[in-house]
Amino acid sequence: MTHDHKFFSQLNCPKSVTWTSDIQMMFTPLDIQHMKTKGIDLSSYQDVMINAVQIYSRVKSGSMPPPGSGEQPWSDEWVNTFGCWIQQGCPQG
């Protein structure tokens, strides 16, 4: 699944979203540990920003967090918030 600028521009984003206040806390220690084995550090602003569209596709499809991990899939609200962060240029803080 790929997403382009047009896709993100159509998201309903009622508020400003930043890494520090909204996004960073979405990743649990288990998420961070799991993805480090795949070469992405979810605790790193830079890594998440670089891989944002890929991460968005995974959380939207429900393949992240992985089924069977014991972690709940992201709510539609969280997925939308992450998409809004992308739409807004991935602001840090």
10: CB partners within 8 A, 6+ apart: none
pLDDT digits (tens, 9 = 90+) for 74-87: 999 999 999 999 99
Tokens of 60: 């939207």
pLDDT digits (tens, 9 = 90+) for 7-61: 888 888 989 999 999 999 999 999 999 899 999 999 999 999 999 999 999 999 9
Q: Is the pTM of this model over 0.85?
A: yes
From CA 24, how far away is CA 43, in angstroms rounded? 7
